[in-house]
């Protein structure tokens, strides 16, 4: 199949021939984790990352990538290397949390006891 | 915007079962079977990681290369409203590329490495973007039908097992629904316009019919490779099923405008399956291997952007900063 001359006038103006070979890409900008706050009173929620060389630029990119649609009140960026997390293997340290029902409001039920007490009182009266 | 990740038969052969710890593998498969999502730090089979990187990376490349045929028409949009919509759509596609590179990056391949592999030809992008957008009507067909096909694929993939990819896809699908609606608007406008506009649209439709059938990739029903990826919820539907879903949704929307498709054998059979003439899979293979009308130009433009922008990136670099793999 024959290669067309570009239909794009912008590409024609650049006058770039087809070159081959690997691009020499050696730079790695650091990444920033982006948190998005939809409106005042709501939590900032993690939405993804951007690559940037400074927090100021990270905010600019975050605005373009994560604040382009819908409502945004604020964006936070935190350098990925400044975030500390549990390892996935430690997930089990949280296993017992839902089991400790004595820490839940729903665990405490006294209505039966009150009714039994009132019934007993009525009988003895 | 996206076509299906293409795995050549040679590559599929190479992808033999890596030696994974059978205990871990059983645990992993049980979790995925329950519908649990996998997150970046979790244990995962070697092939799962490899295939996801390749799939998300191809998807990301497709977004940024896919912006090129449409970008061609920004300066020549027929009116201001269409121009605004096209600029917004093209910006979205680049944004989708960013989201997808980020998702792939959580699996351990840097964005720069992915871009280098795109330029060297080592990794692919959707074949459909190796075809030119000759007229404004091509923009209508791309916006309506290529994006429509991409949405079929992306909605299905967003139910997959890898958390970061699913999250990126949900956001992408939300934005793509605008692409589809504005594409349909543009398409209907031309189809209900002057004879000249209708003619221009019909010709564009004829040009894109085959690339659209190629979009979901060759039939893969019988492939063992596919079965494993389906079990791991990396792939969620066969190429044929997705293609059928696409034809089911979109052929009626084309025919209701009294337009035609250039294939006398295109019809839905009694079992509800769309039949069509062989769309020339040899052409598909030729184009994906570099011999399409626009392959060289697409890569040349990407390479130019990479090289012309290098001094900016170098000026911004802070050598003391250490890159770490992003969290999610």
- Cβ neighbors of A64 (< 8 A, separation 6 or more) are B95
Among chain B residues, the shortest Cα distance to A48 is held by B328
Cross-chain Cβ contact A30/B75 below 8 Å: no
How far, in Å, CA of B1 to CA of B154, rounded?
8
**Which residues are CB-neighbours of B58 under 8 A, at least 6 positions away?**
B5, B6, B123, B124, B125, B126
Choose the mutation target among B24, B97, B324 for the interface with A, i.e. most A CBs under 10 Å. Answer: B324
Mean pLDDT of chain B, nearest integer: 92
**CB nearest B326 (choices: A31, A68, A69):** A31
- Joined together, the tokens standing for residue B105 give 């990056």
pLDDT of amino acid A91: 87
Q: What average pLDDT does the segment B298-315 reach?
A: 89
pLDDT attached to residue A61: 96
Structure tokens at B155: 């909605």
Name the E strands within A1-125: 31-37, 44-51, 74-79
Cβ distance B111 to A51 less than 8 Å, yes or no, reads yes
Q: Does some domain include residue B93? A: yes
Please indicate, yes or no, if residue B2 is contained in any of the structural domains.
Answer: no
Question: What's the CA gap between B264 and B276, in Å, rounded?
Answer: 8
pLDDT band at B314 (very low <50, low <70, confident <90, very high): confident
Residue-number span of the structural domain to which B287 is assigned = 25-314
Q: Rounded to a whole number, what is the distance in Å from the CA of B105 to chain A's nearest CA?
A: 10
Residue burial B166-196, b: 16+ Cβ < 10 Å; e: rest: bbbbebbbebbeebbebbbebbbebbeeeee
Per-residue model confidence as pLDDT tens digits over B210-229: 999 999 999 887 676 788 89
- For B243-281, the DSSP string reads HHHHHHHHHHHHHTTT---S-TT-EE-TTS-EE-----H
Q: Does the beta-carbon distance from B72 to A21 stay under 8 Å? A: no
Number of domains, chain B: 1
- End-to-end, the C-alpha distance of chain B in Å comes to 22
Q: Which residues of A touch B75 (CB under 8 A)?
A: 9-10
Q: Locate the chain A residue with the closest alpha carbon to B133.
A: A7
Under CATH, what is the fold of the domain A29-124? Ubiquitin-like (UB roll) (3.10.20)
pLDDT at A9: 80
Pairing of strands B267-268, B274-275: antiparallel
pLDDT band at B17 (very low <50, low <70, confident <90, very high): low
Give the tens place of pLDDT for each residue, A84-118: 999 888 989 998 888 889 999 999 999 999 999 99
B120–A22: do the CB atoms touch at under 8 Å?
A: yes
CB contact under 8 A, A23 and B293: no
Residue B13 lies in a domain: no
Q: How many CB pairs under 8 A join A and B?
A: 129
For chain A, which residues make up each domain, given as ranges?
A: 29-124
Predicted complex ipTM: 0.86
Predicted confidence (pLDDT) at residue B147 exceeds the cutoff of 60: yes
Gap from A1 CA to chain B (nearest CA, Å): 6
Q: What CATH number should be reported for the domain holding residue B295?
A: 1.20.1260.10
pLDDT tens-digit readout, B124-136: 999 999 999 999 9
- How confident is residue A3, by pLDDT bands cut at 50, 70 and 90? very low
**What is the b/e burial string over B22-32, where b = at least 16 CB atoms within 10 angstroms of the residue's CB?**
eeebeebeeeb
Of A22, A27, A33, the CB nearest to B313: A27
The answer to whether A88 contacts B39, with C-beta atoms less than 8 Å apart, is: yes
The mean pLDDT value for B180-207 works out to 98
**Residue A25: pLDDT over 90:** no
Residue B321 in any domain: the answer is no
Contacts of B111 in chain A (CB under 8 A): 51
Q: Do A18 and B287 touch (CB under 8 A)?
A: no
B165 membership: H or E segment, kind and range = helix B163-191
CA distance, residue A107 to nearest chain B CA (Å): 29
pLDDT tens column, B163-179:
999 999 999 999 999 99
């Amino acid at each position: 199949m024959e290669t067309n001359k570009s239909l794009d006038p912008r590409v024609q103006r650049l006058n770039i021939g087809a070159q081959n070979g690997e691009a020499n890409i050696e730079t790695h900008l650091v990444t920033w984790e982006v948190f998005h706050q939809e409106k005042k009173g709501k939590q900032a929620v993690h939405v993804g990352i951007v690559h940037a060389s400074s927090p100021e630029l990270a905010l600019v990119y975050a605005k373009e990538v994560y604040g382009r649609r819908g409502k945004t009140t604020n964006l936070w960026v935190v350098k990925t290397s400044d975030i500390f997390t549990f390892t996935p293997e430690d997930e089990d340290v949280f296993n017992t949390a839902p089991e400790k029902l004595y820490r839940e409001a729903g665990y405490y039920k006294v209505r039966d006891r009150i009714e039994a007490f009132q019934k007993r009182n009525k009988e003895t009266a | 915007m996206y076509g299906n990740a293409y795995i050549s038969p040679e590559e599929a052969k190479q992808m033999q079962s890596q030696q994974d710890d059978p205990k871990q593998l059983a645990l992993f498969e049980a979790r995925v079977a329950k519908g649990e999502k996998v997150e970046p730090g979790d244990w995962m089979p070697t092939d799962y990681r490899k295939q996801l990187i390749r799939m998300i990376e191809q998807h990301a490349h497709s977004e940024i290369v896919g912006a090129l045929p449409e970008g061609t028409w920004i300066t020549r949009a027929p009116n201001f409203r269409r121009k605004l919509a096209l600029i917004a759509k093209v910006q979205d596609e680049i944004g989708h590329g960013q989201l997808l590179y980020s998702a792939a990056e959580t699996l351990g391949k840097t964005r720069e490495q992915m871009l280098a592999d795109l330029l060297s030809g080592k990794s692919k992008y959707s074949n459909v973007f190796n075809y030119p957008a000759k007229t404004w009507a091509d923009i209508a067909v791309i916006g309506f039908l290529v994006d429509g096909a991409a949405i079929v694929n992306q909605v299905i993939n967003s139910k997959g097992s890898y958390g970061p990819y699913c999250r990126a896809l949900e956001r992408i699908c939300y934005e793509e629904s605008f692409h589809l609606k504005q594409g349909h608007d543009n398409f209907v406008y031309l189809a209900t316009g002057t004879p000249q506009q209708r003619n221009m649209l019909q010709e564009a439709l004829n040009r894109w019919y085959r690339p659209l059938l190629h979009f979901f990739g060759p039939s893969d029903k019988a492939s063992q490779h596919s079965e494993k990826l389906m079990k791991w919820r990396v792939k969620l539907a066969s190429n044929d099923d997705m293609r059928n879903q696409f034809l089911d949704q979109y052929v009626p929307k084309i025919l209701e405008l009294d337009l035609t498709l250039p294939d006398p054998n295109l019809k839905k059979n009694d079992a509800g399956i769309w039949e069509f003439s062989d769309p020339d899979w040899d052409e598909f293979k030729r184009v994906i291997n570099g011999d399409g009308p626009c392959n060289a130009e697409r890569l040349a433009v990407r390479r130019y952007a990479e090289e012309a922008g290098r001094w900016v990136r170098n000026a911004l670099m802070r050598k003391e900063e250490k890159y770490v793999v992003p969290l999610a």
